[in-house]
A and B are shown apart, each in its own frame.
Chain A
Amino acid sequence: MWTHLKALIIKELLAVLKDKKSRLVLIAPPLIQLIVFGYAATYDLNHIRYAVLNEDRGAASRELLARFEHSETFDCIAQLDGDAQIAPEIDNKRVLLILRIPSDFSRKLALGQSASLQANVDGRNSNTAMLILNDVQSVVSSFNTSWMNEHGGGTLPARLAVRSWYNPNLVSRWFIVPGIVGLLTLLVTLLITALSVAREREAGTFDQLLVTPLHPSEILLGKALPAVIIGLMEATVIILIIVFWFKVPLLGSLLALYIGLLLFLLSSIGVGLMISSLAVTQQQGLLGAFLFFVPAIILSGFSTPIANMPALLQKLTLINPLRYFLVILRGVFLEGASVGLLWPQFWPMALIGVICMVMAGKLFRHRMA
């Protein structure tokens, strides 16, 4: 048994790693993607380009605008003279935000009345628009507080004291980057496993394997274990880069992280082998892998929260191993989660993995027919 497995593992690793092209496909793109996506995948706004149309001549408006100018988040790129200029500036995407201050702004404030600040936002990207409005609101709030303090407008009956746990500065990179471990591990294991049986079928080596005394379960394990080895190595490299290059804190237990990783590998390799034993040609294998990969990412909560999806899709995410692994990744990295807390994530992956492996084994034997 062990002689057989060892031979199969060595063969599989050699077949994957000896060919320069396939080695490159396994190593280069994931790392490049990690770096590029690590920087690109962010919802945080900085340098919001905005323009100002100030119809007021008073000091109060200048004081308010000064707060925007001093903010890191905002970048003033134009002063407008009239309403007619507003539309083209936004249409042409020159600015995302135009602050319009009416001519009675300072006068109203001086009288103790409410003055208005009009924020025109480009809504093409609704998420960006919402975040811009939040940022504008917070500048306005802080202006209000200090104005009331200085000019005796009374105090507010209550105020909010907001704290964020786990990610105090709300850096969205901290949210996205640990997820990339799951994304790329899934990609690599699928590429290795989903095509491997089809490749052997096309090359005729699968028949050659089947006429040897190897047991089908040995062949299956011989396909799965090399993928586990490669997946573990690749994930470890990515985790190291995330911690030391992207400086994302890793607070939780490594044990929990690696239990999760192993279970995730088990389930994704199971899916890969299932696709593999169904596919007759490599093209079908590739298509199958792709058809699993894309929905698996969308429905994992990697880029957008699962909670925002319609109920039906939310149910569908329950069979997606990546969904659970992402919770583990974020939990261990940011929340400092321990093994005990992550049980609800472990067992579904184990279940998916075992079911897929058994199915793959069955299909394997069936396909030998």
Chain B
Amino acid sequence: MPILRKPDPARRAAPMRLRGMLRKEARQIIRDPSSIAIAFVLPVLLLLLFGYGISLDAKHVPLGIVVESPSPEAAAFAGAFEQSAYLSPQRFGTIQEAELALITHRVDGIVWLRSDFEEKLLAGAEAPIGVIINGVDANTAHIIEGYVNGAWLSWLQHHAAAQGVEQTLPVQLQQRIWFNAELRSQNFLVPGLIAVIMTLIGALLTAMVVAREWERGTMEALMVTPVTAKEILLGKLLPYFMLGIGGLALSVGMAVWQFNVPLKGSLPILFISSSLFLIASLGMGLTISTVARNQFVAGQVAIIVTFLPAFMLSGFIFDINSMPRAIQIVTYLLPARYYVSILQTIFLAGNVWKVILLNSLALILFCAFFLGVARKRTVKRLD
């Protein structure tokens, strides 16, 4: 036998090596304010910014009301708009003035009562009420249309009551909105936002730290020690997983207490499914960094392939059902899509097992895939 000093029994050496990797990583995290910042300051900042900055709830929509010939009926009609919490009406004397205001964006819509309004109304011949909406922002336009419609319906009731007749519409719509009765957009945006933030923490952080090891030459020094590729990966995964969970806890806390989003489902399930997503993003970050090997490229790639798609294609803000088929297929490739679905359900609907389990299964597949790729690409070879 050659003069071979027997290596330590693997049983004892492996946990020691892992301990070394973990301890090193933990110390580096504590020393390096930037990873703490990414994990804790970034979520707070983003949540505040997104939580307050992104809102689809149009309130106090400036609406021009043109009454060409003042009359009690017209005043009553305009009054119905003034009572709406969502509209802030401004009076204009002529349609020209109102249109100018629309062109210069001082109002978003116009309600136009022509001079013959009262006459036709009293004659019982459906008096036309002109409504012009700036359609550039189609979504807001839809919403304004809904508000105007509502104000009109309530005026109809009042008008009939004032006439002493009961105005009955053949079919009346009874709305029953599930999970988010007051239709606050924050209630669905904030949980979705958590997904976007977790993508950032997971992928950006790990992509940068592994690339940093390549750049500084520490990776080569690690590779010639008996440490195995698996231990290198675990040494990266575990500390940043803990950091990510910390960020998650912070985000969930802010969602509940700062933004008053109801949390109907159970917290443990939220954390379990979040862990799956976090592992998938960490795996993605590791994969990116093993390919890129320098912080600059790794950072760029991480932002381009993780943040923007999570923002646009996860269903966080734009409904996936409205997208063309081909794009919908693309969204199946994003872990964030499944996580957004889980988050919105756990927060607003509760423990709906079918949704949670199916989406979690998809996340598990992503974990396996990305960890597998990262494991395969992390070879202790330089060529």
A and B touch in the complex (CB under 8 A): yes
Contacts of B297 in A (CB 8 A): 21, 25
Stretch of B64-72, B320-328, B362-370 with 4 or more beta carbons under 8 angstroms from chain A = B320-328
Contact present for B134 and A159 (CB under 8 Å): no
Inter-subunit contact B139/A92 (CB<8 Å)? no
| Cβ-defined contact, A309 with B55, below 8 A | yes
Q: How far is the CB of A176 from chain B (nearest CB, A)?
A: 9
Known: A114-B168, A160-B152, A303-B317. A330 touches B56 (CB 8 A): no
Stretch of B15-23, B141-149, B220-228, B277-285 lying at the A interface: B141-149
With contacts A125-B344, A160-B129, A166-B136 known, is A298 near B50, CB below 8 A? yes
Is B361 in contact with chain A by the CB < 8 A criterion? no
| Distance, CA A334 to CA B105, complexed state (A) | 13
The stretch that binds B, out of A39-47, A226-234, A267-275, is A39-47
* Closest chain B CB from A14 CB (angstroms): 18
A112 to chain B: closest residue by CB = B168
Q: Which of A133, A144, A307, A330 has the most CB of B within 10 A?
A: A307
Residues of B within 8 A of A45 (CB): 319, 321-322
Evaluate contact between B349 and A42: CB separation under 8 angstroms. no
Interface: B10 (CB within 8 A) = no
Residues of A within 8 A of B103 (CB): 335, 341
What mask results when residues 268 to 307 of chain A are scored 1 for a CB within 8 Å of chain B, else 0? 0000000000000011001100100011001100011101
Residues of A within 8 A of B95 (CB): none
Given A25-B300, A119-B176, A158-B127, are A165 and B134 also a contact pair (CB < 8 Å)? Answer: yes
Q: How far is A106 from B188 in the complex, measured between Cα atoms in Å?
A: 37
A161 and B173 within 8 A (CB): no
Q: Output the nearest chain A residue to B321 by Cβ-Cβ distance.
A: A47
> Is A212 an interface position by the 8 A CB rule?
no
Evaluate contact between A147 and B146: CB separation under 8 angstroms.
no
Question: Is A64 positioned at the interface, with any CB of B under 8 Å from its CB?
Answer: yes
**Binary contact track A40-58/B, C-beta < 8 Å → 1, others 0:** 1111111111000000000
Most B Cβ at <10 Å: residue of A39, A122, A123:
A123
Cβ B349 vs Cβ A305 within 8 A: no
Given A124-B348, A153-B168, A157-B159, does the pair A134, B142 have CB atoms closer than 8 Å?
Answer: yes
B133–A162 CB distance below 8 A: yes
Number of A-B contacts (CB under 8 A): 300
A175–B149 contact, CB under 8 A?
no
Say how far A303's CB is from chain B's closest CB, in angstroms.
6
Which of chain A's residues 102-144 have a Cβ closer than 8 Å to chain B? 109, 112-131, 133-134, 136-137, 140-141, 143-144
Q: Kindly report which residue of chain A lies nearest to residue B168, judged by CB atoms.
A: A114
- Tell whether, in the assembled complex, residue B173 and residue A136 are in contact, meaning their CB atoms are under 8 Å apart: yes
Residue B187 lies at the interface, judged by CB distance under 8 Å to chain A: yes
- The contact string, 1 if C-beta is below 8 Å from chain B, for chain A 226-252, is 000000000000000000000000000
Residue of chain B at shortest CB distance from A143: B171
Find chain A residues with CB under 8 A from B128 CB.
158-159, 161
Q: Is the CB of A287 within 8 A of B318?
A: no
Which chain B residue lies CB-closest to A141? Answer: B149
Number of interface residues of B (CB under 8 A): 105
Q: Which of A154-188 contact B (CB under 8 A)?
A: 155-168, 170-172, 174-175
- The CA-CA distance from A156 to B169 in the complex, in Å, is 9
Residues of A within 8 A of B143 (CB): 130-131, 134
Q: Are B141 and A167 in contact (CB under 8 A)?
A: yes
Give the Cβ gap from B382 to chain A, nearest Cβ, in Å. 20
- Given known pairs A137-B146, A160-B129, the reply for A144 and B169 (CB within 8 Å) is yes
Question: Provided the pairs A36-B330, A131-B142, A170-B141 are in contact, do residues A307 and B58 lie with their beta carbons within 8 angstroms?
Answer: yes
Given A47-B321, A167-B138, A307-B61; A282-B295 close (CB under 8 Å): yes
The complex places the Cα of A127 from the Cα of B143 at a distance, in Å, of 9
Residues of A within 8 A of B60 (CB): 307
A124 to B137, CA, bound (A): 22
Which of B58, B309, B354 contacts A308 (CB under 8 A)?
Answer: B58
Question: Is B124 engaged at the interface, CB distance under 8 Å to the other chain?
Answer: yes
Q: Does B44 contact A (CB under 8 A)?
A: no
| B96 is an interface residue with CB less than 8 A from chain A | no
Given the known interface contacts A124-B348, A162-B133, A175-B137, the answer about A148 and B179 at a Cβ–Cβ threshold of 8 Å is no
With A119-B175, A126-B184: A295-B170 Cβ-Cβ less than 8 Å: no
A contact residues, total (Cβ < 8 Å) = 100
State in angstroms the CA–CA spacing of A298 and B52 once bound together. Answer: 10
Q: Are A158 and B129 in contact (CB under 8 A)?
A: yes
Q: Return the contact of B132 from the options A141, A163, A303, A310 (Cβ within 8 A).
A: A163
Contact in complex: A133, B146 (CB < 8 Å): yes
- Contacts A125-B188, A133-B175 given; indicate if A159 touches B126 (C-beta within 8 A): yes
**Does A126 lie within 8 Å of B345, measured CB to CB?**
no
Q: How far, in Å, is A316 (CB) from chain B's closest CB? A: 9
Closest-CB distance, A139 to chain B (whole angstroms): 9
Whether the Cβ atoms of A93 and B348 lie closer than 8 Å is: no
| Cβ-defined contact, A309 with B349, below 8 A | no
Q: Which residues of A contact B54 (CB under 8 A)?
A: 298, 303-304
In-complex Cβ contact of B348 among A123, A167, A327 (8 A): A123
Q: Which of A25, A112, A129 has the most CB of B within 10 A?
A: A129
Q: Which residue of B lies closest to A289 (CB)?
A: B303
Assuming the contacts A36-B312, A40-B327, asked whether A114 and B176 have C-beta atoms less than 8 A apart, the reply is: no
Complex contact A124–B318 (CB within 8 A): no
The 8 closest A-B pairs by CB, nearest first: A164-B135, A123-B180, A167-B135, A172-B138, A43-B139, A170-B138, A126-B183, A308-B55
A-side interface residues toward B, CB under 8 Å?
Answer: 21, 25, 29, 33, 36-37, 39-49, 64, 90-93, 96, 109, 112-131, 133-134, 136-137, 140-141, 143-144, 147-148, 151, 153, 155-168, 170-172, 174-175, 191, 195, 199, 282-283, 286-287, 290, 294-295, 298-299, 303-305, 307-310, 313, 327, 330, 334-335, 341
User: Told that A45-B322, A303-B54, A305-B140 touch, could you supply 19 new A-B pairs with CB distance under 8 A?
Assistant: A45-B319, A48-B321, A92-B355, A114-B172, A115-B172, A116-B171, A124-B188, A126-B185, A141-B149, A158-B128, A159-B128, A161-B130, A163-B130, A164-B133, A165-B134, A170-B142, A175-B136, A175-B138, A304-B54
Cross-chain pairs A/B with CB under 8 angstroms, 15 sampled: A92-B352, A109-B170, A117-B172, A119-B173, A120-B176, A123-B348, A124-B345, A126-B57, A127-B319, A157-B159, A167-B136, A168-B135, A172-B137, A308-B55, A308-B59
